[in-house]
Amino acid sequence: MKLDQLFSINGKTAVVTGGSRGIGEMITAGFLANGVKVYITARKAGPLIDKAKELSDQYGQECIAIPSDLSSHGGIVDFADELKTRESSVDFLINNAGAAWAEPLDTFSEEGWDRVMDLNVKSVFFVTQQLLPLLRVNADNDDPSRIINVGSIDGINTPVFETYPYGPSKAAVHHLTRVLSAKLVKEDIIVNAIAPGPFPSNMLGPAVGHDYSGIAKANPRSRVGTPEDIAGLTIFLCSRAGAFTVGETITCDGGLVARSGHDLSGG
């Protein structure tokens, strides 16, 4: 029951897709600060490599960059093959890479629809599929391997912006989490999802001119999310404390979804 046993993730190996910025970087930092070796991947090689070095230096823990394009099946296979040359096992997979695309309804493009669906849904399934051999190595009943899929409250509530495929893609992630959890729990691999609300990021930032004050004021907690919020929940799910939580989609949103339900009831 000691904290250092309940929540320890020291000595583990993790993969965080989209791990060089935004929520992915926050989760990566939380892992590194607590003794986890982390592989991060993103499409732009230069910034990814620079971020891996920056985080390694900051936390004194290995953060390793593997540039890849996870929007295509070939890119996913190439990433998995490269990872398998470096590691014989992986303990945690955080499927965080994602995209949003905004256009008016009447002119919304097929290109935008496909890009969002390919990266937000298709890649989650196939990255998981390709890394299962590594996740199975250390998985046992006492210490399961973990997969955490990063969804969104936009997959629960109706999104504010005209990002038409984004909400449906994240709803798909939430349901895919349940489907995969039912299958993989039998192999001592636990799958859960996190549905974040507003966090500072390159995805949300441009939509609000990188001024989060209005979003913070509208939030029940009167602020946006912090690295400690998302990293803490991720660490819980990956630790002994979270080992009996299976197939859940946990909101991390300051109360937005809860308030929405209250508003709908007329309260």
CATH (domain of 134): 3.40.50.720
Give 35-62 pLDDT, tens digit per residue: 999 999 999 999 999 999 999 999 999 9
Q: Which CB contacts under 8 angstroms, 24+ apart, belong to 47-50?
A: 47/20, 47/21, 48/20
Q: Is residue 212 among the annotated active site residues?
A: no
What averages of pLDDT result for each successive group of 10 residues across the chain (267 residues)? Answer: 95 97 97 98 96 98 98 97 98 97 97 98 98 98 98 94 96 98 98 96 75 93 97 98 98 94 48
Domain extent at residue 176 = 3-264
Q: Which amino acid is at 55?
A: L
Give 116-158 pLDDT, tens digit per residue: 999 999 999 999 999 999 999 999 999 999 999 999 999 999 9
Catalytic residue (choose from 39, 59, 164, 166):
166
Contacts of 31 (CB under 8 A, 6+ apart): 9, 12, 14, 16, 38, 92, 231, 234, 235
Number of domains making up the chain: 1
Q: Is residue 206 classed exposed, middle or buried when 0-12, 13-18 and 19+ CB atoms within 10 A define those classes? A: exposed
- State the pTM of this model: 0.95
